[in-house]
Structure 1
Amino acid sequence: MLTFPLRFGIRHGLAAGLLLGVVSGVRAQDVFFSQPFATRLHTNPAFTGLVDDYSVTLGYRNQFPSLAGSFITGQLAADVRLNTKGQHHALGLLINQDRTGSVGYTRFEAGALYAYHTRLTPQLALSGGLRASYGRQRVGYDNFVFGDQILEDGSVAGPSAESLSFPPANYLSLGTGAVLYTEQAWLSVAGQHLNRPDLGFRNQSTLPISFNVSGGYKFFMVKPSTGIAVREVSFTPVASYTRQGSSQRIETGAYFLASPVTLGAVYRNISAPGNVNPQNLLAVVAGVQAGGLRVGYSYDVGLTQLSADLGGAHELTLSLSAFDRLENAYRRLKKRVYPTAPCPVF
């Protein structure tokens, strides 16, 4: 038997219990981001090398910030499009770490990505990607109080006699995906954890396959030209559907770009079959780009009581990237260039 420290309160204990249920193996789930295009390698390995010649992105997400021991995710992503004949090949690296203080839970995952780009027609291109990741998951119980530690007067003393020997779980995860795109539209399909890795500590607990389909269309009001100094004004509606195990997530929203500022709003519905109380959130996104530097911030606003009680989420991304527009213009003249991927960058 275990109890949560009294300082958590009822609401905090409930949220920590929900997190523990995820960790202990009934239904393990992936973290999701409110800036899916800044963290696009997490969504689909086929985005590797698709938006920039190369980029390095740092991401930070603090979910349930109003709770003690909120769920925190850090991400490092990097990709490069190889300057080989035809520029077909791209390589990437993706590192994620999830942790929460309330249950002493950490999950570390490092993956290598590869994407192959090809042009199907002068206006239509296809990118296919693969991802292989090594993961390590562990749980510590330093923040828990067990029944045998509570004295008659209610004070806590001594170590627990409970068995706390839970060796870390190591696993291999495989994923794949494809992106079909023109200069104004894209469609992304991806599957992660295709081998259903086991994350259990004592009992088997498989990580369900995650399936995602997303897309969007960019309407140009001012279309960027070739060269160094470019200006763009555009409006991009987006939609996404993700299913993992028994849960599903539906997202619809739009981004408005007036260089160098991007503003976006995405409605998110998270539910499970038979769940009469789905989570409804609105993610508000703002980003600015100065040369090769991009900074984005988003906040999840809870639209239902549970979402509001959990406290939403803060998310921050920082990206350094390069895209040679003059070289791109030269390749366009030689008809050896791919369409520019139209997806947002935040």
Structure 2
Amino acid sequence: MLQCQLRRPSRQGLLATVLLAAGAGLAQGQDLYFAQPYATRLYTNPGYTGLLDDYSVTLNYRNQFPTLAGTFQTSQLSADFRFRDQRNAVGVLLNHDRTGGIGYTRLQAGATYAHHLRLSKTFGLSAGASVGYGNQRVSYGNLVFGDQLTDDGSTGAPTLEVADFKPVHYLTVGVGGLVYNEYFWVGMAAHHLNQPDLAFITQATLPMRLNVHGGFKYYLKRTVVRRQPREISVAPTGSYTRQGGSQRAEAGLYFTASPLTLGAVYRGIPLQSGPRPQQALTTILGVSLGTFRLGYSYDVSLSQFSRELGGAHELSLTLRDFDMLEASWRRLKRRNYPSIPCPAF
């Protein structure tokens, strides 16, 4: 029987191992989660490509269960560009997910494309697609096997256990779309349509991830100061995600008083079907200053088990541009497309 242990084991480390083992036993993979869905909108739905800015470059970092010394860490780099005809936009997306305790890493790089249509003077439609290449691997540097232990507990000799899981390579494709006007938006996306195999030994598919999301923005005040839009608004949002045998429902509320945005999202709304999900309350603080956006969020766990592992910190930093003069010219020529009112964080 194969025996191994983590170096410097702890109660939190054992909890993490239990979580990982449980996920492996399902023979299905799961996608990573971000608490700022509109700062990671290309990951949420490829239809968002080029909708919010003329161009943008965003860096996101998420540290989940920080009491485990960074065991669950995710980084994402995304960028999108809208062509001057406003009908076409392209984007790139790079994700890096790391589970430090057992040295598991997943790297995925992809591209997105969206085509924008003006359905009427006030309604717009965006249809998008994505394609990505992924690589996942396991490092054994942090593991100690039974044949490396002596009576006094010291280690030193190399293990005779065969632990040579080759890296897994896979291809994934997805589609998504949005309908919107200046007051509301609703979208749907389907990721991993081909359900790629992520197994190291036996088959373990990455199930299709389906997501439906939307929201409504109520403007208390709108104006333009020095060619920059300013607003005071309230925006309730909602989202439902299903992947394999798991599902997640969320409800949020964003308050914006330019340049600040405050948000609260409740994750884990109980559903009639399926097991009771882990519940969390996410608080979001964002600021938009010129060409920069900076966002921070923290997950406050409402479930006892996950509370022992700590919450989650998430940061987003965006460099973006929106040409107000160009938009005004297009509006005069009746060539301007509706603007999507979703939050930026």
User: Larger deviation: 19-28 or 193-202?
Assistant: 19-28
- Tell me which residue corresponds to 1:115: 114
User: Whole-Å Cα distance in 2 between the matches of residues 274 and 83 of structure 1?
Assistant: 46
User: Whole-Å Cα distance in 1 between the matches of residues 24 and 74 of structure 2?
Assistant: 15
- Tell me which residue corresponds to 1:81: 82
Q: Which amino acid aligns with 1:326?
A: L
- Tell me which residue corresponds to 1:150: 149
1:137 aligned onto 2:136: yes
Give the aligned CA root-mean-square deviation in angstroms: 1.8
- Tell me which residue corresponds to 2:186: 187
Partner secondary structure for residue 306 of structure 1: helix
1:244 aligned onto 2:276: no
User: Whole-Å Cα distance in 2 between the matches of residues 337 and 155 of structure 1?
Assistant: 70
Q: Write out aligned runs for 1:13-28 (5 A).
A: 13-22=14-23, 26-28=27-29
Shift of 1:153: 2.9
Q: Write out aligned runs for 1:186-205 (5 A).
A: 186-205=185-204
User: Whole-Å Cα distance in 2 between the matches of residues 309 and 271 of structure 1?
Assistant: 21
Go from structure 1 to structure 2 and tell me whether the alpha carbon gap of 1:274 and 1:249 turns closer, same or farther (over 3 Å shift): closer
Structure 1: tracts of 5 or more residues without a match: none
Shift of 1:23: 5.6
Query: What are the Cα deviations for residues 14-70 of structure 1, in whole angstroms up to 9, with x where unaligned?
Result: 213322543687221001101110110000000000000000000100111111442
CA contact (8 A) 2:27 2:203 kept: no
User: Whole-Å Cα distance in 2 between the matches of residues 96 and 239 of structure 1?
Assistant: 24
User: Whole-Å Cα distance in 2 between the matches of residues 226 and 126 of structure 1?
Assistant: 29
User: Whole-Å Cα distance in 1 between the matches of residues 7 and 224 of structure 2?
Assistant: 61
Seq. identity, %: 52
Give the structure-1-normalised TM-score. 0.95
User: Whole-Å Cα distance in 2 between the matches of residues 63 and 270 of structure 1?
Assistant: 20
1:304 aligned onto 2:279: no
CA contact (8 A) 2:63 2:314 kept: yes
Q: Write out aligned runs for 1:65-76 (5 A).
A: 65-76=66-77
Q: Name the count of aligned residue pairs.
A: 343
Query: What are the Cα deviations for residues 246-291 of structure 1, in whole angstroms up to 9, with x where unaligned?
Result: 1111110101000000000000018896535x31101110011110
CA contact (8 A) 1:226 1:326 kept: no
User: Whole-Å Cα distance in 1 between the matches of residues 165 and 302 of structure 2?
Assistant: 38
Shift of 1:152: 2.5
Q: Which amino acid aligns with 2:244?
A: G
CA contact (8 A) 2:13 2:101 kept: no
User: Whole-Å Cα distance in 1 between the matches of residues 70 and 142 of structure 2?
Assistant: 10
1:30 aligned onto 2:53: no
Q: Which amino acid aligns with 2:217?
A: K
Q: Which amino acid aligns with 2:318?
A: S
- Tell me which residue corresponds to 1:168: 167
Shift of 1:100: 1.5
1:94 aligned onto 2:101: no
User: Whole-Å Cα distance in 2 between the matches of residues 298 and 159 of structure 1?
Assistant: 43
CA contact (8 A) 2:228 2:324 kept: no
CA contact (8 A) 1:247 1:270 kept: no
Q: Which amino acid aligns with 2:104?
A: Y
Shift of 1:332: 1.4
Q: Write out aligned runs for 1:40-59 (5 A).
A: 40-59=41-60
Q: Which amino acid aligns with 2:289?
A: A
User: Whole-Å Cα distance in 2 between the matches of residues 157 and 224 of structure 1?
Assistant: 69
Partner secondary structure for residue 7 of structure 1: coil
Q: Which amino acid aligns with 2:328?
A: A
Shift of 1:225: 4.2
Query: What are the Cα deviations for residues 214-269 of structure 1, in whole angstroms up to 9, with x where unaligned?
Result: 00000000124496133210000000000000111111010100000000000001
